[in-house]
Amino acid sequence: MNPADIAELFGQLIEVDDFEVEDNFFDLGGTSVLALQVVLEIEKRSGCTLSLIDVVHHPTPDELAAVIAAKAV
């Protein structure tokens, strides 16, 4: 998944328009429970298994896309 896809997912979950790739998921209203949904959705859409701690430590689409890319190598 690229940063724009992740930004779109974040925006859908938090119900925010125009979620940018450098925006922080938790700063725009993301909660721990929604972060669990992020993990599940990313696994469903890309097959990449993230942990919740990945989302907590890499809360922007840019950062999380890099984590997904690193796991794919």
Count of residues binding other proteins (CB under 8 A)? 19
Pick the piece of the chain touching other proteins (CB under 8 A) from 2-10, 13-21, 41-49, 61-69: 13-21
- CB closer to other proteins out of 2 and 8: 8
The answer to whether 15 contacts other proteins (rule: CB under 8 A) is yes
Q: How many residues does the chain have?
A: 73
Check if the beta carbon of residue 72 is closer than 8 Å to that of residue 62. Answer: no
The answer to whether 40 contacts other proteins (rule: CB under 8 A) is no
The amino acid at 12: Q
